[in-house]
Amino acid sequence: MNFSDLGKMQEMMSQAKAMQDEMEQKLASTIVEASSGGGVVTVRMNGRKQLLKLKIDPAVMGSNASDLELLEDLITAAFNEAGRRADEAMNSGVSGMLGGLNLPPGLL
C-alpha cells in the first residue's frame, strides 16, 4: 500500500465518522408513532428505539382479566410496529447517505 492509498483510506474513514455522527443526530431527532387495535394503543419512540410516550384509550380499560391480556397484546404490537418504523427510517437515511460514496453496486 502506498501513501496515496493510505491518504484515501484516511479520507474515507473521516467521511465514515462524519456520517456516523450525522446518523446519531438524526436518530435522536427522528420520531415515529404507531398504533394497534384501531388506535386504542399508541406508542411514540425516537430513532434510537427509546419509547417516548404510551397512550391508551381509557375506553379499553375493563375490569376482567381478558381485557388486561388484550391490552398487553395491543401494547406489544404497537411497540413492535414503532420499532419497525424506526428501523425503516434509519435504513432509508443510511442508504441516502451512503449513496454519495460511490460504492460498488450491491454494497448498499
CATH number, domain of 79, equals 3.30.1310.10
Q: Please check whether residue 44 lies inside any domain of the structure.
A: yes
Query: pLDDT digit string (tens) for 57-95?
Result: 888 777 676 777 788 888 888 988 988 888 888 888 777
Q: Is residue 65 part of a domain?
A: yes
Is 34 part of any domain? yes
Within-domain flag for 67:
yes
Q: Which domain holds residue 75?
A: 29-86
Tell me if 33 is assigned to some domain: yes
Run of H or E including 56: strand 51-56
CA 1, CA 31: separation in Å to the nearest integer?
Answer: 44
Strands (E), 8-99: 31-36, 41-46, 51-56
pTM confidence score: 0.54
| Counted domains in the chain | 1
Backbone φ, ψ for residue 42 (5° rounding): -130, 135
- Would residue 107 count as lying in a domain? no
pLDDT of residue 98: 64
